[in-house]
Amino acid sequence: MVRADDAHKSTNEAEKNTLIQQNFVEKLKFWKLRDEDEHEPARLTAMPSCLMHWWTPVLFAFILLAGGCFLASIWRMPLRPLSWEKINLFWPPSWPFNYHWPSKDAMALCATIAGAGFAFSAWQQRSHDNAVNAMQTQAAIEREDYWKRREHIYQLLGSENPGLRLSAVALLAELADSAAHSNFLNETEKQQLQRHIIDTLCLQLRHEGLNKTEEGNQEEHAEIQRTIINTIIIRINMQDNSDYHADWSQHVIDLSEITMITPINISNINTSTPLIFNSTKFLKPFKISDSTLLQIYWETAQFYSYLSVFSINSVCTINIDDLPTYAPSILFENSIIKINRHTLSIDLSNFKQNTLYPSIRFDECLFYTRDSSTTRKRSTYLPQPKLYIYAHAETDPTYSTPQNLTITKCRFSDIEISSENPESQICINECIINNFIEIKLEDAENSFTPTRAPSKQHKHILLHQNTLISPPKTIPVTVTKETELSIDTLIDFRQNRISRTNNLDKVNTLDYTLDINNPEPIHFTEQTGPNQPDFEWRTGGNTKDEYDDIED
């Protein structure tokens, strides 16, 4: 197999391209003839294997001889006149026929019929052998043709002409479709050929991502990548009603360590095909809409542009290994997100100044995490997981743009926020939290001075219009502070509610007041009605001061 690489290229590229184009035209003529051959009358089909025994003609002749002798023994025999009055219902019965030994002429006729049956059966077996041999010969020819076509396509993929490489991708897709519906290749050969084609397309994706200027400009490389991606998406879609396309839904699509210079748009597909994007760089937007993707591996992928998963006509469902560790801009909207981990964690980081505004946003999403008591092969998923949010401070001043987080209309069992970067903003709005919210604020060690400190207008953590479900007389919100920053610039609670009976129709208001002069400045009051407090508590004390007092 010749790989598209500089080491395999000839110095006379013009002559090579001319030769490749001539071979390409010859192959097109050959495929046209093959399409015309498909309209020829069908060939003789093979007999069932159960009839291909040496004794089958003998048995067939014996059956014909026995049947002919029986008919000859009763042929033209006078019938005894019968009437209902003369029929004796007791033994011995009154038979309507008189059997006799067939004549010599009748026996000769029966033997002739049996011989003809024997000859016909033997001829059928010989015809079967001829049909099988013809099928095997045709299969060998077609098998050789498939591999020859593949080798010609590999030569096209090695060309520096982007047009030839683009046509080679289309020919590979056509080869995959025709091989998948071949009547001469067995299933093993079909699977092997499909695997070779998939691996070749993935390798070509990686090669085009190198963006070599001598092989075309960036737009031409991106167009080839886009064609390959669309070719793969069409054939992994289990909702594809076309009988023409090959089925790649049972194959692993390994797209690791590729630089994607083309936008990716996955829309209206349903597949369980593993899509592996380990260490892949996406320089353009990556969009998933109205689709069900049950195996995506992209935790180590790097998204330099927008990553969005959303629904327009139906809910979008994705099953992922985890959220990407490097993705400045993420949007999940009206989606079901299943994570192959036992916990749901969101890490907020700083990024270099670029055209994107770093942010993560979840709107009306349902989260599921894998049950820790199950295995990966038989995983079950639990809804409403505990959410961990980490806001890290960077020690490198070149990473000066903080990443913000907004979560709206989602549901979790608990929320734990641990932040050492007050520059980022964390907004949790209109969510349902089943148990409690725990917030830890601390200073980062060895971090550079923030360029945008939090203020009363730009607070660090905002929790607005949420509903907490907590047992009676328990504290659902706690805040611990180990930083010198003022609490009134860090946290803002507004219009939150609480239910003590797990009934969302019966909720109490959760009022919030702030007194920065108090050792525990945050005062929560649960009220069943206007001026009807039912439960209250204070939190938000500076534990760092307590530690300093203990040391003194």
Around 217, how many Cα atoms within 13 Å sit in the side-chain half-sphere?
1
| pLDDT value at 36 more than 70 | no
> What's the pLDDT tens digit per position in 168-183?
999 999 989 988 888 7
Mean pLDDT computed over every residue of the chain = 79
Could you give phi then psi for residue 406, rounded to 5 degrees?
-130, 125
- 281-320 pLDDT, tens digit each: 999 999 999 999 999 999 999 999 999 999 988 889 999 9
DSSP letter, residue 105: H
Q: Does 411 score more than 70 pLDDT?
A: yes
The pLDDT of residue 269: 94
* H or E, element range at 264: strand 264-267
Lowest mean pLDDT among 42-46, 503-507, 515-519: 42-46
Q: What pLDDT does 530 receive?
A: 82
**What's the Rg (C-alpha) of the chain?**
39
Determine the pLDDT at residue 504: 85
pTM of the predicted model as reported, rounded to 2 decimal places: 0.74
Give the number of other Cβ atoms within 10 Å of residue 49's Cβ: 8
Q: Residue 412 has which token pair?
A: 């979790």
Q: DSSP readout, 58-77?
A: HHHHHHHHHHHHHHHHHTTP
Helices (H), 185-249: 187-208, 218-236
Average pLDDT over residues 452-478: 85
In the block, which residue shows the tokens 């407090």? 533
Residue-wise pLDDT tens digits, 88-125: 444 444 444 555 556 556 666 666 766 665 566 655 65
pLDDT at 3 (0 to 100): 45
Interval 136-159 mean pLDDT: 76
Strand partners, 337: 318, 367
CB atoms within 10 A of CB 25: 10
Residue 456 Ramachandran class (φ > 0 left, ψ -120 to 50 alpha, else beta) = alpha
